């Protein structure tokens, strides 16, 4: 949050909906079902916040800007011009496939046709801080897909947070962080 405010000068609001989300994820073990559940909750929180902003300001938000990248599109959608209604989805993305019409936002995705390396180059041209540019990608569904099994299992989230921090710090200390495209720890229910 500090990076957005202090370096990118963007007014970002953080909404902690973890209690409701974890309530919906309890007992869900299939990664694709987790993604769908998280995507639905993501939309629900946006609806609530949009209504809150409209109530406070008297202005209805018109746009939703997302950082969708081309790999998200490839993994989630049928090939362009294929006339297929569905692809063999690699994995779903909450930010691919449009928004429910009742949300009432015009979707803006300025990076949709770019790969991660191209986005990083663009960030350098825009003088985005290096720490932000070189940060490894983090999945939209968060730690839920890095915990195999029930994300609500005792200590699962605390354990994965701790292990991931240890692992990421170890590769940074070894001078490998910027040489590895993406690294993360996973929680195995064994």
pLDDT in tens, 168-178: 999 999 999 98
Q: Are 185 and 167 in contact (CB under 8 A)?
A: yes
Name 147's bridge partners: 187
* pLDDT over 80 at 165, yes or no: yes
26: Cα separation from own chain's centroid: 20
Mean pLDDT of 36-56: 89
Q: Which residue has the tokens 């209690």?
A: 19
The values of phi and psi at residue 128, to 5°, are -70, 140
The values of phi and psi at residue 177, to 5°, are -55, -50
Q: What is the pLDDT of residue 158?
A: 92
Mean pLDDT of 10-14: 84
CA distances from 51 to 44, 45, 66, 71, 92 (A): 11, 10, 19, 31, 27
> Mean pLDDT over all residues of the chain?
84
Q: Tell me the Ramachandran region of residue 128: left when phi exceeds 0, alpha when psi lies from -120 to 50, beta otherwise.
A: beta
Q: What is the pLDDT of residue 114?
A: 93
Distance CA 26, CA 41 (A): 14
Confidence of residue 150 (pLDDT cuts 50, 70, 90): very high
Query: What are 113's two structure tokens?
Result: 């046709």
């Amino acid at each position: 949050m500090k990076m957005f405010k202090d370096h990118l000068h963007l007014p970002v609001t953080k909404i902690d909906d973890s209690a409701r989300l974890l309530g919906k994820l309890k007992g869900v073990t299939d990664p694709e079902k987790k993604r769908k559940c998280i995507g639905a909750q993501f939309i629900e929180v946006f609806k609530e916040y949009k209504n809150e902003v409209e109530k406070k300001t008297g202005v209805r938000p018109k746009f939703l800007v997302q950082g969708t990248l081309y790999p998200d599109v490839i993994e989630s959608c049928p090939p362009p011009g294929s006339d297929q209604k569905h692809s063999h989805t690699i994995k779903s993305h909450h930010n691919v496939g449009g928004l429910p019409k009742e949300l009432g936002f015009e979707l803006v995705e300025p990076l949709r046709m770019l790969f991660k390396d191209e986005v990083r180059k663009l960030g350098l041209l825009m003088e985005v801080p290096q720490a932000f540019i070189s940060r490894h990608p983090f999945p939209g569904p968060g730690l839920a897909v890095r915990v195999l099994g029930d994300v609500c299992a005792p200590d699962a989230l605390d354990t994965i947070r701790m292990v991931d921090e240890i692992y990421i710090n170890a590769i940074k200390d070894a001078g490998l962080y910027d040489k590895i495209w993406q690294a993360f720890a996973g929680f195995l229910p064994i």
